Amino acid sequence: MTLVFVYGTLKRGGSNHAWIEKQQFVAEARTAPLYRLYDLGGYPGMVRAEDGISIQGEVWSVDEEGLIKLDVLEDTDGGEYERVIVPLEGEWAERTVEGYVYLRSIEGRREVGACW
């Protein structure tokens, strides 16, 4: 099982939640202040930023089959997102948690703050 931080449409109530709903919800969490969140037209992209903020999201325990499905949704092979270790705050600071960071240009995209 892999701990995965989600921050957008995969969260409970999100439009893509069906992709993760059979996995195990663990907790709400926030990233370390290393990221910015952008509106990509119906879904967000989290990018690493020197002047970053803490992004709100959820931690899920995901099995190998679930990770494969999430990688397809996030188009990791196509280069839209990359699954990397995402440092979190608080009780999660010492845990290894992965998440998806957006790799393409954010030029002209609207920043949406800490929560999608």
Catalytic residues, by residue number, are 74
d(CA 3, CA 95): 9
Write the CA distances from 4 to 35, 69, 70, 97, 108, integer angstroms.
16, 13, 10, 5, 28
d(CA 106, CA 38): 7
Q: What are phi and psi of 21, to 5 degrees?
A: -60, -25
Which residues sit opposite 31 in a β-bridge? 88
Its sign, for the CA torsion 31, 81, 85, 69, is positive
